[in-house]
Amino acid sequence: PADTPKPVTPEEETVPEPPKEPELTPLEEADKKKAAGNGFFKKSDFEGAINCYLQAIELYPDENPVEKSHCYQNMAAAFEKLGKPEEVVKYCSKALDLNQKYIKAIQRRATAYEKLNKYEASIKDWTAVCLIEGPEKSMKSGYMATSDRVLKAYGDEKAKKLMAARVPRLPSHTVINSALDNIHMRDFHTTTKPETL
């Protein structure tokens, strides 16, 4: 019969190709990696987050320093969750190299310095936060109170070191005589009774 269709051989069969996804720009690819890192962070997979942030940093063009600084700061946050304050300082510093007034990075680094007992560096960072944010916001946000707490810890540490290194010596004759005079006067006032009439 002439009406019967001719069978199609596999070579003749054409399968439509699936539509190709548009190629992403480096910026879009970097944003995608950063978003993936944020997803890992929310799931408490901090190692996965760090890897994604590193990839995003490599992909971000040099004309995007703020985005790179955000990735470095996010890495620092992940290292903070992992209990690695040295890494927190390292990656916050990298973030601040790219974005000097990045408050979140300065705060996180100040806290890490405090955990490392590097009080002087912590005080410098908290002071920078207070100066950038201004006195009113610093008071409301507790930055000044935190700075005072760190300053007290720094003072205590310095005092302990000074006292430990202090060479014991006798006080001067003036101090000794003054102390003895006070003791004699106190004894005199407590043992003598006023004469009665």
What's the pLDDT tens digit per position in 71-127? Answer: 999 999 999 999 999 999 999 999 999 999 999 999 999 999 999 999 999 999 999
Per mean pLDDT, which of 42-46, 127-131, 147-151, 186-190 is the most reliable? 42-46
User: Which helix (H) or strand (E) element contains residue 153?
Assistant: helix 143-165
The whole-number pLDDT of residue 24 equals: 81
What region, left, alpha or beta, does residue 61 occupy, with left being phi > 0 and alpha being psi -120 to 50 degrees? Answer: beta
Please say if the pLDDT value at position 134 is more than 80: yes
pLDDT confidence tier of residue 176, bands split at 50, 70 and 90: confident
Q: Which residue has the tokens 């290292």?
A: 79
Residue 69 makes CB contacts below 8 A (sequence gap 6+) with 94, 95, 96, 98, 99, 102, 105
pLDDT in tens, 142-161: 888 888 888 888 888 888 88
